Amino acid sequence: MRPLLLANIGQLLTLRAPGKGTGPRRANELNDIGIIEDAAVLCDGGKIVAAGKARDVLRYPARKKLKHLKEIDCEQKVVLPGFVDSHTHLIFAAPRLVDFEKRIAGATYEEIAQAGGGIRSSAEAVRKAPVKALVQQALAALREMAAQGTSTVEAKSGYGLSVEGEIKSLEAIQQAAKAWPGTVVPTLLGAHVIPKEFQSKPQRYVREVCEKMIPLAGKRRLAAFVDVFYERGAFTLEDSEQVFEAATKHGLGVRAHVCQLSSAELWPLLRFHPASFDHMDCVNGEDIAQLARRDTVATLLPGANYFLGLEKFPPARTLIEAGVPVALATDYNPGTSPTSNMQFILSLACTHMKMTPAEAIAAATINGAHALRLAERKGSVEPGKDADLAIFDVEDYREIAYWFGGNRCNAVVLNGIVTR
């Protein structure tokens, strides 16, 4: 890997910490994206070694010693840390076109699930798919994400819904991650929905997850996190507590899908120190007050609201004003959010959730990194951090959230490797 100089940057969004705090950004901190004009970034060995005003970086003493320095002229455009997409369902086998048409004809997401569509119908295809096919599809999606400015991706299993199917999905994530220069964080979502064959005995399925899937994923280091869909029609609070207990016992972090379709109590899960609570559309006021005092990140997924054709979007302003740290992610999945484009998510956050472009960018970079407990390495452009950068063909960072439906990303740097 050659050392790399990004020169002639018009606006560098560093996302460096505004104060001494090291936790996720909240309230006003989200608007401070650390802009430096006429900037440069120097990388070596996959890490950022200097970032700042071009004249300072060019004077950096060790620069001359770097052999075969590759220089990219950024032509006065915008450079920011690569997006951290902290919530994706990377492993699935087929789009859900029948559900799509049923919703167009007026059925709701829950009605379709109850009629045998939804997550359960995706499981059939994943169970049948050879691991090689899943790897190829995952890799194609990772490359598509990178081409749109994403350098770190959380990747969930969750459409296997059996020990074999879930472990196969995690193996596919591991193999795809090895073939991609970016960073992948694997999550076991065995508790996505109760599969057909356990419908009359849901507790037995929770035991499959807790006693088989989680121990195996932990032992084989196939997952960093365990996720659960805590929602009516999926898993209860008691189920979720059991899943979190098993995850903790086996050394895995926890996160959860919560309050997407209906409101539910979150505080009983806080004792497990979840890295994030995701969706949060129907979160209640008491939980908001609790979350304002914690580092659990509220990860908002407006792609799902858009694709389900909902009028309401996650309550970003209420959360931000209460002091809850928020992140934004694609929720890339075949049922509710088939997009890999973080730029579109930023657009939705601004137009439908009234986040400022700066807040949206902080939520999609540094707070995404916090949601994955990777903020020491990812999410900002600072010496010592991983060389993950995105170069955008815009002159003002606000344009990234302004132009929608396309791709303004020119190139990404993934752990020091330039990809276009």
- Residues from 170 through 189 that contact ligand NIG (CB under 6 A): none
- The span from the CA of 3 to the CA of 68, in Å, is 7
Nearest approach, Cβ of residue 282 and ligand NIG (Å):
13
Question: Residues 286, 289, 291, 295: what is their CA dihedral angle, to the nearest 10 degrees?
Answer: -160
Given ligand NIG, Fe ion, none, residue 119, with its beta carbon under 5 to 8 Å by kind, binds: ligand NIG
The enclosing H or E element of 414 equals strand 409-414
**Piece of the chain touching ligand NIG by CB under 6 A; list 34-42, 50-58, 115-123, 164-172:** 115-123
- The span from the CA of 247 to the CA of 206, in Å, is 12
* DSSP character at residue 213: I
Nearest approach, Cβ of residue 113 and ligand NIG (Å):
8
Given ligand NIG, Fe ion, none, residue 152, with its beta carbon under 5 to 8 Å by kind, binds: none
**What mask, x for binding ligand NIG by CB under 6 A, covers residues 321 to 360?**
----------x-xxxx------------------------
Nearer to ligand NIG, 195 or 334 (CB): 334
118 touches ligand NIG (CB under 6 A): yes
**Piece of the chain touching Fe ion by CB under 5 A; list 103-111, 207-215, 326-334, 359-367:** 326-334
Tell me which residue has tokens 């991650």: 177
154 touches Fe ion (CB under 5 A): no
How is residue 107 written in tokens? Answer: 């059925």
- Residues binding ligand NIG: number (CB under 6 A): 12
Question: Under DSSP, is residue 130 helix (H, G, I), strand (E, B) or coil?
Answer: coil
Residues forming beta bridges with residue 183, ordered by sequence position: 152
- Residues from 292 through 311 that contact ligand NIG (CB under 6 A): 304
The alpha carbon of residue 215 and the mean position of all alpha carbons in its chain are separated, in whole angstroms, by: 24
Nearer to ligand NIG, 305 or 410 (CB): 305
Nearer to ligand NIG, 83 or 306 (CB): 306
How is residue 189 written in tokens? Answer: 């979502």
**Piece of the chain touching ligand NIG by CB under 6 A; list 7-15, 114-122, 313-321, 407-415:** 114-122
Binding residue (CB under 6 A) for ligand NIG from 122, 183, 240, 415: 122
**What mask, x for binding ligand NIG by CB under 6 A, covers residues 34 to 73?**
----------------------------------------
Burial class (CB within 10 angstroms; exposed 0-12, middle 13-18, buried 19+) of 35: middle
195 touches ligand NIG (CB under 6 A): no
Nearest approach, Cβ of residue 189 and Fe ion (Å):
8
**What mask, x for binding Fe ion by CB under 5 A, covers residues 75 to 104?**
------------------------------
Nearer to ligand NIG, 66 or 300 (CB): 300
Ramachandran quadrant class, 118 (left: phi over 0; alpha: psi -120 to 50; beta: rest): left
331 touches Fe ion (CB under 5 A): yes
CA distances from 211 to 6, 161, 216, 245, 383 (A): 49, 14, 9, 11, 43
Given Fe ion, ligand NIG, none, residue 335, with its beta carbon under 5 to 8 Å by kind, binds: ligand NIG
The CA-based angle 207-277-330, given to 5 degrees, is: 105
Closest to 81 (Cα-Cα) out of 23, 12, 138? 12
Please count the other Cβ atoms lying within 10 Å of the Cβ belonging to residue 134: 26
Amino acid residing at 215: P
Closest to 213 (Cα-Cα) out of 145, 259, 271, 156? 156
The alpha carbon of residue 91 and the mean position of all alpha carbons in its chain are separated, in whole angstroms, by: 14
229 touches ligand NIG (CB under 6 A): yes
**Piece of the chain touching ligand NIG by CB under 6 A; list 116-124, 180-188, 241-249, 383-391:** 116-124
- The span from the CA of 348 to the CA of 368, in Å, is 17
Given ligand NIG, Fe ion, none, residue 167, with its beta carbon under 5 to 8 Å by kind, binds: none
257 near 278, Cβ under 8 Å?
yes
- The span from the CA of 220 to the CA of 252, in Å, is 12
119 touches ligand NIG (CB under 6 A): yes
48 near 4, Cβ under 8 Å?
no
Residues that bind ligand NIG (CB under 6 A): 118-119, 122, 229, 257, 260, 304, 331, 333-336
Please report, as ranges, the residues that interact with Fe ion according to CB under 5 A: 331
